[in-house]
Amino acid sequence: MRSLKQDIKKLFFLLMLSLWVTPNLGTAAKKEKNEFSFSKNEEAIGSKVYSHFLNALLLERRGELERALKEYNRTLALEPQASLIYQQRANLYLKMGQTEKALPDAQAFYKLHPEDPEASLFLASIHLMLNQKITARQILEKSIEENPKHVLSLIELSNILLFEDSPKAIKILENILKIDPFSIQAYYSLGLVYQKMEEFPKAKNMFEKVIEIDPESVPSLLLLGETYEKENNLESAILYFEKALKKAPEHFSLRMQLISLYSKLKQFDKIENLLQIYLNDPSPPMEANFWLALVYENKKQWEKALFYYLQAQKGMNNPELHIRAASIYSQLGESKNALRSLKTAVKLSPQEAQFHYFLGLAYLDLKKPKKAIKEFEKAIELKKDFGSSYFQLGIALDSIKKWPEAEKMFKHVIKIEPTNASAYNYLGYTYADRNENLFEARKLIEKALEIDQDNPAYADSLGWLNFREGDVLRAISHLKSALESMPDPAIFDHLGDCYHALGNSLEAALSYQQALELDPKNKTIRKKLERYKKWLLPESPARKLLKNFEKTLSQTPYLSGMILVKGKKNFIAKGSSSGFFYLRKTNPSHLPSTTTITELRMDLALSAKMPVTLRYESNTISQWTVFPPEIKDQLPQETKKFLELIASFFDNKLLLPLDQWQTKVQEKSKSFVLTYQDRSVTLKKNTGLVKAIRWGNTVLKIEKYQNIDRYFFPQKIKIESLNKNETDLKEVEIEFSRLSLDTIENKIFKAKE
């Protein structure tokens, strides 16, 4: 397009040529050797024209457009035939946003140059700016008839026809490529028209041609990405968008487009990477905050998600953002803040039924069913066929004991949404729970399962219906199946009721315990569990203390140290005896892996006598030996029994019979007393350590403990026999010191002497 933004001298020469070569002054042919001879008056006029024109150019360049316009006006007033000034002034009007005023100047320029294709092109472009496509098209078509190879006019005409007459536009563009095989604009426009016609392979081929000619063409990379996206080839679309973003990293809308595609592919880490540039930005775009919030919401980082939703709200008070924030508040357990956000959303869009529905859900969550009812009713008023609102309205009505009205709501949901499985299930379950209309309940629940056969809540409903029908075993089967997919307190509660009905106290208690763990505030379940509090349940505090103590014993394969034995008659003599103590637990290879053999050895020294060695082994048949063997008959009859008791304690055989749910539990202020048949154990609440074990007529008391490698072991044990008929070994006291958990050499237990 011709312009006067060229070398001023050249412009002035052209200007003077247009001024002086006129019919009034004759033609250049009458001059000699292209030289002009001016009269003094003509030279004065030419000088003024030049002066005003030069001033106009300088003023326009400085941005003083109004003053520049005045200078152009003065120029044309002096010489109305100066065609380039019309073009220049038209461009100035365009700069000033006065397209209507530019049109007469463009027409004047065209009138003075009717055969110049660029004059036609300039005029057509003004008409296009004024949305006068028909006129522009006519001007261009006439110009192309006279100048069929003028590429710029052909391109402009193809742009007009691009989406109005695509086949004709394609012919023009193909013609351009015959004239100029490297026309980027022609390939680009062909790509656009093929994309519009959904001929995506051709469109991609055209855009790729542009990139071959101009590898830096960001628009073509963008359009290639768009074309692949239209084909639903998101990976390829992302590839081209990423290439474009590398060349234009400041392109915000492109960054957002990439983020949108990443979100469809659930590639939230990549979204986070794209948004890194905004993390420390004091005023990032609202969209960036929104996407950051979505990323952190997907990662379940609720605090961060909330922060960015609130930041996004600062840039745009959009109700959707308040809905999102409410959802995060709900996840954080901040029900009041969730309610506040939902109220704001409703205030911003009071005619949006969905927002009233969400507000109703929030009121239900806050146990305010009457307020929830108002919101659900408002949602239904705004949206007559709002099935979800009818459903939740039914739940709210049911919660305030208005079952007949609630029942109508669920039936209406089924009527307007015949595939709403939740409505069938709720109605059928409620019939079963109320123990009424059981035949109808079965039809409803089975219909729900027909629609959604894998829903564990519906399997629970069917199980509960079986329970009401008296088929408890079938009920248990359905309830267990439901729990595999959804560990829910209500299902565990139902399962507990089934086991309770069968008299299976252990399984009933376990089920109620699991229900209470998932819903610790449920008073009804807690009350059911109280029936079993007197038993040692697997999850009870008493059992946990017992298991911890047993764990210490079971994880101790070796124990050795000094020993002091006291008693009225002792193992071998009256008074006291000191010596060494060794204990080890092994699993011999020739026996089953679960078989443990406990070996105990005591080397006791007596004053003025040789040491006595007592050895005990808990095998299939407990056995004990004495060295020297000749004194074995001199020992009390119960020596073996006391050795066996000590070994059994460290081997956990004394406590193991108590580790079952049938064990009764008596809770005292500082301890638990566990009793099963003729055996009992007292456990301290604060330490979890065994205070005493009693079985039959024998009591083992642990009066003191010592800490070894963070494990507690007895330091002082007292064994008492309560049998009044026995005369020997009424009481034995054993003190351990310098205990060690180090490995004991095998030769100690194999030695004969």
Domain termination site, one of 98, 131, 159 = 98
- 325-343 pLDDT, tens digit per residue, is 999 999 998 989 999 999 9
- 422-457 pLDDT, tens digit per residue, is 999 999 999 999 999 999 999 999 999 999 998 999
d(CA 690, CA 709): 19
Share of the chain above pLDDT 70, in %: 89
In a domain, 253, yes or no: no
Contact 738, 562 (CB under 8 A): yes
Closest CA to 388 of 363, 422, 362: 422
- 203-217 pLDDT, tens digit per residue, is 999 999 999 999 888
Dihedral-angle region of residue 525 (phi above 0 means left; psi in -120 to 50 means alpha; beta otherwise): alpha
Contact 719, 645 (CB under 8 A): yes
Residues 499 and 545 in one domain: no
Mean pLDDT in residue range 112-138: 91
CA dihedral sign of residues 388, 392, 397, 401 = positive
Contacts 24+ apart (CB under 8 A), 335-342: 335/362, 335/365, 335/366, 336/366, 338/362, 338/365, 339/363, 339/366
Q: Quickly tell me which residue has 């949108």 as its tokens.
A: 260
In a domain, 703, yes or no: yes
In a domain, 42, yes or no: yes
Residues 550 and 512 in one domain: no
d(CA 670, CA 684): 6
Higher pLDDT, 690 or 3: 690
Residues 643 and 497 in one domain: no
Total residues found in the chain within this entry? 753
Contact 679, 658 (CB under 8 A): yes
Dihedral-angle region of residue 285 (phi above 0 means left; psi in -120 to 50 means alpha; beta otherwise): beta
Residues 620 and 684 in one domain: yes
- 644-658 pLDDT, tens digit per residue, is 888 888 888 888 888
Residues 590 and 499 in one domain: no
Number of domain units in the chain:
3
Is the pLDDT at 22 greater than 80? The verdict is no
What is the structure's pLDDT at 379? 95
What is the structure's pLDDT at 590? 61
What is the structure's pLDDT at 748? 82
Backbone angles phi, psi at 375, to 5 degrees: -70, -40
d(CA 569, CA 193): 112
In a domain, 697, yes or no: yes
What is the structure's pLDDT at 374? 96
Q: What is the CATH number of the domain that holds 570?
A: 2.50.20
CB atoms within 10 A of CB 323: 22
- DSSP state string for 525-582: HHHHHHTTTTB--TTSHHHHHHHHHHHHHHT--EEEEEEEEEESS-SSSSEEEEEEEE
Is the pLDDT at 667 greater than 90? The verdict is no
Residues 493 and 556 in one domain: no
Is the pLDDT at 181 greater than 60? The verdict is yes
In a domain, 192, yes or no: no
What is the structure's pLDDT at 640? 81
d(CA 96, CA 332): 56
Helix/strand/coil for 486: coil
d(CA 186, CA 175): 9
In a domain, 21, yes or no: yes
pLDDT level of residue 593 (50, 70, 90 thresholds): low
- 145-178 pLDDT, tens digit per residue, is 999 999 998 888 888 888 888 899 899 999 999 9
Backbone angles phi, psi at 158, to 5 degrees: -65, -35
Closest CA to 84 of 5, 179, 177: 5
Residues 590 and 705 in one domain: yes
In a domain, 346, yes or no: no
pLDDT level of residue 118 (50, 70, 90 thresholds): very high
Mean pLDDT in residue range 22-29: 29
Mean pLDDT of all residues belonging to the chain: 85
CA angle at 612 for the pair 610 and 613, rounded to the nearest 5°: 140
d(CA 42, CA 47): 8
Residues 584 and 694 in one domain: yes
- 284-323 pLDDT, tens digit per residue, is 888 888 888 888 998 899 999 999 899 889 888 889 999 9
pLDDT level of residue 9 (50, 70, 90 thresholds): very low
Q: Which domain holds residue 501?
A: 487-532
Residue 234 DSSP label: H
Residues 524 and 547 in one domain: no
Is the pLDDT at 547 greater than 70? The verdict is yes
Domain termination site, one of 98, 123, 140 = 98
- Residue 577 pairs in a beta bridge with 565
Residues 526 and 588 in one domain: no
Domain termination site, one of 500, 532, 564 = 532
In a domain, 273, yes or no: no
Which two three-digit tokens encode residue 274? Answer: 């794209």
Closest CA to 262 of 278, 290, 241: 241
C-alpha distances (whole Å) from 210 to each of 153, 183, 186, 193 are: 20, 8, 9, 15
User: Does 636 sit behind a cis peptide bond, omega within 30 degrees of 0 on the bond before it?
Assistant: no
d(CA 297, CA 263): 12
Mean pLDDT in residue range 392-420: 95
> Which of 30-34, 239-243, 591-595, 705-709 comes out lowest in average pLDDT?
30-34
Helix/strand/coil for 37: coil
Residues 637 and 663 in one domain: yes
CA dihedral sign of residues 323, 327, 332, 334 = positive
Residues 9 and 26 in one domain: yes
d(CA 486, CA 478): 12
Query: What is the strand order of the sheet 623-627 is part of?
Result: 623-627, 612-618, 597-605, 575-586, 558-567, 731-740, 711-721, 698-708, 690-695, 679-684, 671-676, 664-667
Which two three-digit tokens encode residue 248? Answer: 């234009």
What is the structure's pLDDT at 574? 61
